[in-house]
Amino acid sequence: MIRSPGFRLRLGLTLGFATLFAVCVLAAWTYMSEAGRHLGADYPALTGDIVRAQAETADLRLALEDLAREPGDARHRERVETLLWLMPERMDAIRRVLARTELAEAGQVDVLDALRRTEDRLATLEASLTPPDAQLEAIGQALEADLAWAYSSLLDRVHRAAAAQQRLMKRLSIAVGTLIGLVLMVAGALMLALARLHRQWRRLSELSVTDPLTGLANRRRLWDLARHHLARHRRDGGELALLLIDLDHFKAVNDRFGHPAGDAALQAFAEMLRSLIRGPDLVARLGGEEFAVLLPDSGLPAARRLGERLRRATAALDLPPPADGHVLTASLGLSATRAGAHDMERLYALADAGLYRAKQGGRNRLEINEAS
């Protein structure tokens, strides 16, 4: 199947726009996903760790009070030991999560220092369990006070940072959406511009192969199509016929009725030619009052019958005023080739020789010049 340049251009534009749209959607989705994962997901995890650490601090104070009241109860000692192991792990987890957020460690020196001091106290506290120190309650209260301040301060900063980050994400989302909208607008404008250029290109292409007076094909279009069919016939077989038509003494129409009347007569003749040919045939104006009919897959017998119909129809053609009543006649030359044996130049030369014989033989006649 032959793909026209216009088809390829439309296909390229469609694929380009689809690719641009897909890239924008993928970029936006990837950005939002990555931004949400890196900038938003850590804050809920950090908040959860801080809340659990606060609860564990309160549990430690209560466990120490119970142990101070009942120093011989193994359950209280086991509970305290479990919390003393768990709380440093929780602090370490908080520091790790904190390092992955926008809360730079340099800005949290006071909180981190408090957590480090508390870890030292926890180690001291663990050593004071055997035997239980009389100051366990006081130590527990002091630990709770320090950790309460540190965790409350940190939690407040996390909340503020998370709120600021949410505002930033909203602004970034608006910016990304605006950017995608602008990209799509630019792409749409580019598509419209390219479509307009394509229409203009098609119009110019049509004009380059069209006779402006009659709307028929011109010599260039005739030659291009003939070469296409000849190439196909060389490959697959087939016949191709060419009729050359010259209106007899047409100068008399221009001299007698004027050039506008002559143009109107040519247009009427062109319409008559269109009405008599088959769909695959091509009618072309070669210049002045000379025309041609290209008949793909037609041999000499069929082309001769068409030529005679054209000759008779020309003599019976009613011309528009002021040339109405004037009788036109036409001389025709016919040639044909089989399986692309001759190129277009040879085929045209043979038909032109037949046309010359028709004029020399008295005009208003058809002459066949068979290829040797």
List residues with catalytic annotation. 289
Phi-psi region of 133 (alpha: psi -120 to 50; beta: other; left: phi over 0): beta
Tell me the two tokens of residue 261.
């009347």
Q: How distant, in Å, are the alpha carbons of 58, 80, 147, 241 from that of 220?
A: 96, 101, 93, 17
Distance, in Å, from the CA atom of 208 to the CA atom of 206, rounded to the nearest integer, reads 5
Longest Cα pair distance anywhere in the chain, in angstroms?
A: 142
Peptide bond just before 131 cis, omega within 30 deg: yes
Distance, in Å, from the CA atom of 316 to the CA atom of 328, rounded to the nearest integer, reads 8
Helix/strand/coil for 212: coil
Q: How distant, in Å, are the alpha carbons of 279, 305, 319, 330, 349 from that of 312?
A: 21, 11, 15, 9, 24
CA dihedral (106, 110, 115, 118) in degrees, to 10, reads: 150
Helix/strand/coil for 72: coil
Residue showing tokens 């926890």: 122
Tell me the two tokens of residue 84.
């003393």
Tell me the two tokens of residue 26.
């993928």
